[in-house]
Structure 1
Amino acid sequence: MENFASDARAATLALRDLFDQTPLQRNDFLSARFGAEIWLKREDLTPVRSYKLRGAFNAMRKMRVSDPDQQLFVCASAGNHAQGMAFCCRHFGVKGAIFMPITTPQQKIDKTRAFGGEFVEIVLTGDYFDQTLAAAKAWCADRGAHFLAPFDDDDVIEGQASVAVEMMEQLGRAPDMVVLPVGGGGLASGVTKYLHTLGEQTEFRFVEPVGGASLTAALKAGHPVQLNKVDSFVDGASVARLGERTYEALKWASPDQVLLAPEDRICVTMLEMLNVEGVVLEPAGAMSVNVLAELGDISGRTVVCVTSGGNFDFERLPEVKERAQRYTGLKKYFILRLPQRPGALRDFLDMLGPDDDVARFEYLKKSARNFGSILIGIETKQAENFPRLFGKLDEHGFAYRDITGDDVLAEYLI
């Protein structure tokens, strides 16, 4: 085990050829809110705005030592791992083939190409990631290339442990608690293994998105399992199956140490960090901050939250705002059955309060001779305004149905 600690320190030293330590910052806003010492390990500030660069670099570095003739690397990724590998290919001057699903947003393709330049080839194939992964591995075997795994690799895990090495150096001691986002488990495996190797008594909490709880499923089953369905909103942590190596590194964890973050609630944290602190976080990068209220009594304790990435496409900001408003109860959608008579719409509008704003109004169809169905979206400043509005609708005999939480109807109508 001591070898792991020394190897992680060596990996951290080697990383200085690429970038300086990412900041470990005490956050006054969060510290005051929770009465604790809340520190953010800012992995969103690496050159590729994600910790993934660490593991990719370490794995590529060690492969070039063990097999200097290997000049071709392959990965399958639509996000941070792709950008990390591209950056490393250019640094080492080796060729890389990066397989991405056809549906990958152009912004991610362009960023990956910018990091890798002439050293990388981007291959768009497959409508779904499983198809992309299969194509990448087949191509890799055919060309004799080295497949660079995103998390289920000992050298990648060792590279991610550099987060803990820096954290200890910067804080000058072990924190009382570290909060870690979990996707495939590489970051959590590296950080926990390093601190355990040193014999530190730090507590750990792990965070997964509700729609991609692969660690929760693995701990429950006693082995990694394939999730039947994954919500891809938290794209940096929505992994259908925990790795074999990462499970071995994390199987000691108790299920009550794993917290699940609802996707819509993560949006609330993203907006708050952006508007209050000026910190841009991607959904996965906001997860550790999102669960601070669920850590129990942390008053007076030193808690480090790893903000794992900041690759956020601002074209998604309207969706993030929408989801945050719906989660906090500041925006609702409902179908209103409006009488087909003069003045009916005015009667409804008169029920709205001074803080209520019509954000969506769509006539759906005339459902009966004397009534029509209308899709209404209302934004307000206080969540308690909606019970007041619905009370007025009931009092005046308006028929309506709140569809805000109806995923099926929302998908087709909203």
Structure 2
Amino acid sequence: MAAKHTDYLQRILTARVYDVAIESALEPAHNLSRRLHNKVLFKREDTQPVFSFKLRGAYNKMSRLSETERKRGVICASAGNHAQGVALSAHRLGCRAVIVMPATTPKVKIDAVRAFGGASVDIVLHGESYSDAYAHALTLQDKQGLTFVHPFDDPDVIAGQGTIGMEILRQHQAPIHAVFCAIGGGGLISGVAAYIKAVRPEIKVIGVQTVDSDAMLRSVQTGRRVTLSEVGLFCDGTAVKQVGRETFRLVRDLVDDFVVVDTDAVSAAIKDVFEDTRSVLEPSGAMSVAAAKAYCAQHKLKGETLVAVTCGANMNFDRLRFVAERAEVGEAREALFAVTIPEKPGSFRRLCRLVGARNVTEFTYRIKGPEEAHVFVGLTVNGRDDAQKMAQTFERAGYGVLDLTDNELAKVHVRHLVGGPAPRSAQGRSMAENERLLRFDFPERPGALLRFLDALSPDWNISLFHYRNQGGDSGRVLVGIQVPPADKRAFSLFLQQLGYQYTEETDNPATRLFLN
């Protein structure tokens, strides 16, 4: 049953959450604040016992059930943070909980739910998606007389999440310009907005959605709840196709504005939070930080206080490589280009001289034909304008250039596919004849690549080059060099005088399979 806006203040003030939840810190983000010229505070919901805010709403709902309802038990459908919140709440309340998860749920998440809930929890794996699990949960609810604990569309769940807003205003009684909250189904921002607008209505409450999971924004714009056909899964904690009835009503009436962010911006925000706190957020948990940055830039804010609710830290470890790769692009600190250069000795060196003292994040090249070569280049830049200047530099030098910084295909796939076997001429001879393949450790400092190229004989052609900055003290570089047999001794002397650690990979089985 829907509650009046004014009812939520009392619901939040009397919410039972602290039997299991902590009052999370409102922590200053010193580095980010200096960069944005505003005071940024992180509301650290990622430090809750289940590493997300979901525990608050689940426990508040379950603690208000009658003794009879608790004895019968509760049920929910979730593959993420809500499942863990229900599991821990059931354990604390001595209440049976059935948690329905898709059969495709990773084992690490299943184990986490089981660890939090112990003997109180029965896990049921059903279907291929959340929708399948949700439908099955409703069937089990009817059959077993269980109480459904909704992840967001329930006044008691919303009130539990609203205690976050109550804590923010208690912890920071000075002026606040805006509070940023990620939106999936809308439970978090509904509760936070209900409290803040009742107590300090001058504070803006800003909702955050991703470009590929923006059901709430579209619903508010349309004036009715819309259902998305597909949702993006990078920020899986907010990947909701349809928002709740009650949350839609509250957000429509109480939320001041929305900010939409993309994968690169969220990845950059994860890095920002790590640099300030040494904590790693899940993508959904960093959406509010990405939005605060975008909002500052859009409105040219200075000297204001902004609060970002960092709402979760259930990050899969294997996602970190992807996040690190996309963070620099999201911060506009890396630009990606495809540069076309003449296929002749010295062209690669000339390209590197154009780059100058800039930090190279990636060079990938494979000989393609007798006339021209295509090089995939990543460079450190100072914003979009700087990237555009670099593209103009390449163009003035007579090189064809294509800016790939915003090209999703290039960022996700093409950068890893550049290379392969060298083509053959019409006579059947390899374009990379007499190729020696070597794996180098370059010192990770400006000038290391040019030193290598300057020491290289002009008679030796580079037929393959791959480098990607990995953030270490040395750069791992794979180079193919066409060295005539008569130059074998001179090439050995070059390697000795260069002084870089190297391993010859010409006869590596992987070389024969994929590069020869």
Normalised by the length of structure 1, the TM-score is 0.85
Question: What code does the residue aligned with 1:316 have?
Answer: R
Residue 291 of structure 1: how far off its partner (Å) = 2.2
Alpha-carbon distance change, 98 to 331 in structure 1, aligned in 2, over 3 angstroms: farther
Give how far 1:350 is off. Answer: 5.1
Question: How many Å separate the matches in 2 of 1:362 and 1:110?
Answer: 45
Q: Give the Å deviation of 1:409.
A: 6.2
Tell me the amino acid that sits aligned with residue 311 of structure 2. Answer: S
Tell me the equivalent position of 1:149: 150
Whether 1:379 and 2:378 are equivalent positions in the alignment is yes
- Contact 1:180–1:305 (8 Å) recurs in 2: yes
Residues 57 and 156 of structure 2 are in contact (CA less than 8 Å); yes or no, is this contact kept in structure 1?
yes
Cα distance in 2, alignment partners of residues 359 and 104 from structure 1: 37
Q: In structure 2, what is the Cα distance between the partners aligned to 1:357 and 1:27?
A: 27
1:335–1:403 Cα contact (<8 Å) kept:
no
Higher alpha-carbon deviation: 140-149 or 352-361: 352-361
Percent identity (aligned) = 29
Shift of residue 394, structure 1, vs aligned partner: 7.9
Change (3 A) 1:53 1:382: same
Higher mean alpha-carbon deviation, 348-357 vs 97-106, is at 348-357
Q: Distance in 2 between matches of 1:46 and 1:189?
A: 20
Task: Output the amino acid matched with 1:380.
Answer: L
Contact 2:70 2:96 in 1 (8 A): no
Moved more, 146-155 or 320-329: 320-329
What's the counterpart of residue 257 of structure 2?
Answer: 257
Deviation at 1:400?
A: 6.8
Corresponding residue of 1:77: 78
Task: Tell me, yes or no, if the aligned pair for 2:334 and 2:379 is still in contact at 8 Å.
Answer: yes
Identify the residue that residue 311 of structure 1 maps to in structure 2.
314
- Which residue identity does 1:179 align to in structure 2? F
Tell me which moved more, 222-231 or 320-329. Answer: 320-329
CA contact (8 A) 1:168 1:174 kept: no
Matched residue of 1:60: which SS? helix
What SS is found at the alignment partner of 2:97? strand
What is the aligned counterpart of 1:24 among 23, 26, 29? 26
2: CA distance between counterparts of 1:273 and 1:55? 25
Q: Is the 8 A contact 1:193 1:249 kept in 2?
A: yes
In structure 2, the CA distance between the partners of 1:24 and 1:229, relative to structure 1 (3 Å rule), is same
Deviation track 1:113-153 (CA, whole Å, cap 9, x = no partner) reads 21112222222332222222222222222222222110011
Counterpart of 1:317, as a letter, is L
Per the normalisation by structure 2, the TM-score is 0.69
Where does 1:92-241 land on structure 2 (aligned, <5 Å)? 92-172=93-173, 175-198=176-199, 200-241=201-242
Return closer, same or farther for 1:349/1:93 CA change in 2, 3 Å cut-off. farther
Query: Helix, strand or coil: the match of 2:239?
Result: coil
Residue 6 (structure 2) pairs with residue 8 (structure 1): no
| CA spacing shift, 1:370–1:138, aligned 2, 3 Å | farther
Alignment CA distance shift 1:141-1:37 (3 Å) = same
Q: Secondary structure at the match of 1:380?
A: strand
The answer for unaligned runs of 5 or more in structure 1 is none
Could you tell me which of 33, 38, 41 is aligned with 1:39?
A: 41
**Would you say the 8 A contact 2:335–2:404 is kept in 1?**
no
Q: How many angstroms does 1:33 deviate by?
A: 3.4
- 1:301 maps to which of 301, 304, 326: 304
CA contact under 8 A between 2:69 and 2:146: conserved in structure 1?
Answer: no
**Deviates most, 211-220 or 273-282:** 273-282
Change (3 A) 1:199 1:396: closer
Following the alignment from structure 1 to structure 2, what is the Cα–Cα distance between the partners of residues 412 and 373? 19
With 388-397 and 150-159 compared, the bigger mean Cα shift is at: 388-397
Report the alpha carbon displacement of residue 371 of structure 1 after superposing the two structures with TM. Answer: 6.9
The answer to whether residue 275 in structure 2 is matched with residue 272 in structure 1 is no
CA 1:359–1:116: 2 relative to 1, 3 Å = farther
Decide whether aligned partners of structure 1 residues 204 and 82 sit closer, same or farther in structure 2, where only a CA change above 3 A counts. Answer: same
Instruction: Quote the Cα distance in structure 2 between the aligned partners of 1:360 and 1:104.
Output: 36
C-alpha separation in 2, matches of 1:317 and 1:168: 33
Distance 2:128 2:373 in 1: 37
Name the counterpart of 2:90: 89
Distance 1:118 1:38, change over 3 A: same
Question: Are 1:55 and 2:57 matched, yes or no?
Answer: yes
**Using the alignment, how far apart are the partners of 1:172 and 1:409 within structure 2?**
47
Counterpart CA distance in 1 for 2:143 and 2:48 is: 33
For the Cα contact (< 8 Å) 2:213–2:238, is it kept in 1?
yes
Structure 2: gaps of 5 or more residues: 417-516
Q: Deviations over 1:207-266 (max 9, x none)?
A: 111111112101111111011321111112222111111011111257x71111122111
For residues 338 and 62 of structure 1, do their structure 2 counterparts lie closer, same or farther at Cα, with a shift above 3 Å needed? farther
Q: Is the 8 A contact 1:58 1:156 kept in 2?
A: yes
State the alpha-carbon separation in 2 of the partners of residues 268 and 153 from structure 1. Answer: 33
Larger radius of gyration: 2
Tell me if structure 2 keeps the 8 A contact 1:125–1:131: yes
CA–CA distance in structure 1, aligned partners of residues 175 and 192 of structure 2: 12
1:90 Cα deviation after fit: 1.1
Please say if residues 160 and 186 of structure 1, whose CA atoms lie closer than 8 Å, have aligned partners that are also in contact.
Answer: yes
**How many residues in Structure 1 have an aligned counterpart in Structure 2?**
400
- Indicate yes or no: 2:291 matched with 1:287: no
Whether the aligned pair in 2 keeps the contact of 1:76 and 1:133 (CA below 8 Å) is yes
Aligned AA (1:43): E
- Mapped to 2, the partners of 1:132 and 1:337 lie a distance apart of 54
Evaluate the alpha carbon distance shift between residue 334 and residue 145 of structure 1 in structure 2; reply closer, same or farther with a 3 A threshold: farther
CA distance in 2 between counterparts of 1:392 and 1:34 reads 31
Q: Secondary structure of 1:39's partner?
A: strand
The residue matched to 2:272 in structure 1 has which SS? helix
Query: 1:332 is matched with which residue?
Result: 336
Relative distance call for 1:386 and 1:260 in structure 2 (3 A) is closer
Q: Give the aligned CA root-mean-square deviation in angstroms.
A: 3.0
Amino acid at match of 2:21: F
Provide closer, same or farther for how the CA distance between residues 337 and 79 of structure 1 changes in structure 2, counting only shifts above 3 A.
Answer: farther
Displacement after TM superposition at 1:331 (Å): 5.1
Indicate the SS of the match to 1:204.
strand
